Structure 1
Amino acid sequence: MSGKTHQELLQKYAEAIVKVGLNIRAGQRLIITLAATRGVPYQFAPLVREVAKAAYAVGAKYVEVLWSDEEMMRLRVQNAPRDSFDEYPTWQVDAVMKMIENGDALLSINGSNPDLLGGLDPEIVGAMQKTHLNHYSRVGERVTTNAVNWCVVAAAGEEWAKKIFPDLEPEKAQQKLWDAIFETTRIDQPDPIAAWEAHIVNLRKRGKYMQAKQYTGLHYSAPGTDFTLGLPNGHQWISAQSMAQNGVIFTANMPTEEVFTLPDRNRADGIVTSTFPLSYGGTLIEDFQVTFENGRIVKVNAKKGEAALQRLVDTDEGSHRLGEVALVPASSPIAKRGHLFYNTLYDENASCHIAIGRAYRFTLTGGAELNDEEFVSAGGNVSLNHVDFMIGSPKMDIDGIKKDGSREPVMRQGEWAFEA
């Protein structure tokens, strides 16, 4: 690494989260949500406390944390009465909503066990997940309109680390995962903030190029993939930074390597094959294909986790359609590490991906001002879900489809086919 101690790197990580990710303004409050296994304080408290210190250093007036233990979810599925899975702690959603309505910042720390709910009754798991989605949709809707500055980051959970590095002792696996997090979020560089600023400039150049092209669609070609999707009028290619409705410019994901927009919910045809496993709701879905006709998912199959994938698609009508298309070069820093992370925040930044479900309103011109019906009429998608899955590889070619129907290269062999 950089020669700095783990504690020094943790402090730098927290500073980057606060200054680059959230860009917290003086007077804002911050709410942090997270779940961990094997005892929350042991897992993530050191990072949370460093984030709190960094937030107060830039003028935050209050920091609060909603801690939870994800093992409680597994215990519930195993032991709770079968007719109890419509129960939900609505006070948590109310707390987050009050912070959002006040214009405060929202941070989510991710580090969960990819196999948490594997092997459990899929019907009960599905019921529990749908209850959560139904209640948490209020927060999701505000996030998709960038109501406030928000950010998602990761911390090296022990069970997650063991999944990635199964041959190492738990402590060594966890430290190796921390090293990977620090490397891919540029924290190991001499000046992480400056490194992030340069990276954001480069990503935004790619986004501006794609925006100027105003393609009507994209065509994907790779082993197991022959897929065309449409892009609606007014689509906005977004990269790295966004402007929140509270006036704060922020970076929603750390790491981030993607340039993304919304597809037309009614125009997706063909077959896509996953190139990375998908960890969804504590179940790992592997080696899967999704078939589309006229924008709608009409078939899924998977070697592992097919029932969970079908449950995802069947959540609601919007989960049968797409809400995001993202371009990521196969040589991204996450991809270069040469291993899976079994975590969407990381694996989506190693590969081109698409998302089942809800579209971000800010990826459509004027989308934040539209009601659901208007948004859908404009080509946007509305759903309880927003779940990314990875389809890119060094064998993928992508063409941009112009208004006259002609095509030109956007990516070749997994890399950008243009200079920006």
Structure 2
Amino acid sequence: MNARYTDNLERYADLIVHVGLNLQKDQELLISAPISAYEFVRHITIKAYEAGALHVMTDFYDEELKKIRLEKSSEEGLKVFPHWKQKGYIEMAENNVALLNLIAPNPSLLREVDPGRVALLNKVSAEASKEFSAYIGGGKISWLIAAYPTEEWAETVFPELSKTDAAEKLWDTIFYTTRTDREQTVERWEQHINELNEKASLLNDAQYTKLHYTGPGTNLTIGFHPQTKWISAQFTNDKGIPFVPNLPTEEVFTIPDKTSVNGVVTSTKPLNYGGTLIKDFSMTFKDGKVVDFSAKEGYDTLKNLLNADEGASYLGEVALVPHNSPISNTNIIFNNTLFDENASCHIALGRALSVCVENGKELNPEELNAIGFNESAIHVDFMIGSGDLAIDGEKPDGTIHPIFRNGDWV
């Protein structure tokens, strides 16, 4: 490995510990990661202890074992979930343990697996994880999703290259998109977050009641309750500590009134859901619910996703991302939602985020439901932005203001 790679890796690990997690002295950390990332996990563990971590724990997994289970297990076996593990996660959350989820997906891993079996396993997992998901969606604890590139993932992004060259290029791209390819990474991230917070403040000051989206295959209106707010991907946990749960991030976002979504929307990038790609898909919404949909690839997976539970066919997030951004400007389809959603405006099916509600952590389910808050075991982002997207905001008095033109902020 050359010196430049080593320096970038060092900055990436620093970014994860000091900006993403903002790990505090005497705080515990749980790292969930694929077995292929063990060396990088060791590197992050060192950084965490140097930052004053009390204890660093690891939870390794192997996607190939998931594939074997899907292919070989009985249907009853797919319904088995290790509840002891979920209880452990909840206990750690109650004790302010920070969570790092390193992801290294193989987008084509489950291409030949029965979508019905994949949907069953995803549903069982989502239902069992619902209580813990509240700690994440509410920003109650510090958590972070960051990427670790593997040869399998890199091959799907750069199929024209050898495995080794593809992985090296993916690493370089991740360093670029996370701003870890240059000095003063932490300082540049502080500036970036401040700029995103300024955008969120402008949207909140405008008090838009609706957004109107128009673009190729898209004519969609999304309504909002006055009690919801726009935020950047900088949360504050229950201890008052700020953290950034996604690296990279280019979005400002809020939640819709679940019953105030109408029209047609068309995806602009593939969606990797549970190891299966869904491509070239569109959805029609009426009073918030998906009433029709199509997909050129992954139709059954999309169908199972929408049928996961009652809330799965309603929206839980609306995010604005400029077409002119480091991720988008790479002109790369990452086949990974963490990156693709930050290259494009996106919306999410399923669970809404209580951090986007004024005093959301203090409201009970009935109070949240009254403002159009969507409940679901799933939360799946998909990309709808492009250089042709226009978005207009409607104010309470009915006046219309342009927000996006040609995919970028006005």
TM superposition shift of 1:336: 0.3
TM superposition shift of 1:197: 1.0
Counterpart for residue 340 of structure 1: 333
Does structure 2 retain, via aligned residues, the 8 Å contact 1:235–1:262?
yes
TM superposition shift of 1:99: 1.3
Cα distance in 2 for partners of 1:178, 1:95 equals 33
The match for 2:67 among 49, 69, 74 is 74
One-letter code aligned to 2:295:
A
Does structure 2 retain, via aligned residues, the 8 Å contact 1:31–1:96?
no
Counterpart for residue 192 of structure 2: 199
TM superposition shift of 1:11: 1.7
How many residue pairs match? The answer is 410
The match for 1:171 among 132, 143, 164 is 164
> Which whole-Å deviations, capped at 9, do the CAs of 1:43-65 have from their partners, x for residues lacking one?
21122111111111111100011
TM superposition shift of 1:407: 0.8
1:364 aligns with 2:357: yes
Cα distance in 2 for partners of 1:316, 1:372 equals 17
Does structure 2 retain, via aligned residues, the 8 Å contact 1:189–1:195?
no
One-letter code aligned to 1:397:
A
Cα distance in 2 for partners of 1:243, 1:175 equals 34
TM superposition shift of 1:8: 2.5
The match for 1:130 among 114, 118, 123 is 123
One-letter code aligned to 1:107:
L
Cα distance in 2 for partners of 1:364, 1:45 equals 38
One-letter code aligned to 1:409:
P
Counterpart for residue 158 of structure 1: 151
Unpaired runs of 5+ in structure 1?
none
One-letter code aligned to 2:4:
T
CA RMSD of aligned residues (A): 1.3
Percent of residue pairs bearing the same amino acid type: 42
TM superposition shift of 1:352: 0.3
TM superposition shift of 1:108: 0.7
Counterpart for residue 318 of structure 1: 311
TM superposition shift of 1:235: 1.2
Does structure 1 retain, via aligned residues, the 8 Å contact 2:29–2:55?
yes
1:21 aligns with 2:20: yes
1:10 aligns with 2:4: no
TM superposition shift of 1:146: 0.9
One-letter code aligned to 2:17:
V
After TM superposition, the runs of 4+ consecutive aligned structure 1 residues lying more than 6 A away are: none
Counterpart for residue 94 of structure 2: 101
1:32 aligns with 2:31: yes
One-letter code aligned to 1:212:
D
TM superposition shift of 1:34: 2.1
Cα distance in 1 for partners of 2:64, 2:160 equals 23
Cα distance in 2 for partners of 1:199, 1:352 equals 18
TM superposition shift of 1:195: 1.1
> Which whole-Å deviations, capped at 9, do the CAs of 1:314-354 have from their partners, x for residues lacking one?
11111110000000000111010011000000000000000
Cα distance in 2 for partners of 1:4, 1:273 equals 43
* TM-score, normalised relative to structure 1: 0.96
The correspondence of residues 267-416 of structure 1 with structure 2, limited to 5 A, is 267-416=260-409
Unpaired runs of 5+ in structure 2?
none
Cα distance in 2 for partners of 1:97, 1:186 equals 33
Give the 3-state SS of the residue equivalent to 1:201 in structure 2. helix
Cα distance in 1 for partners of 2:210, 2:84 equals 42
The correspondence of residues 181-260 of structure 1 with structure 2, limited to 5 A, is 181-260=174-253
Please identify, of 342-351 and 45-54, the stretch whose mean Cα deviation from structure 2 is larger.
45-54
Does structure 1 retain, via aligned residues, the 8 Å contact 2:323–2:344?
yes
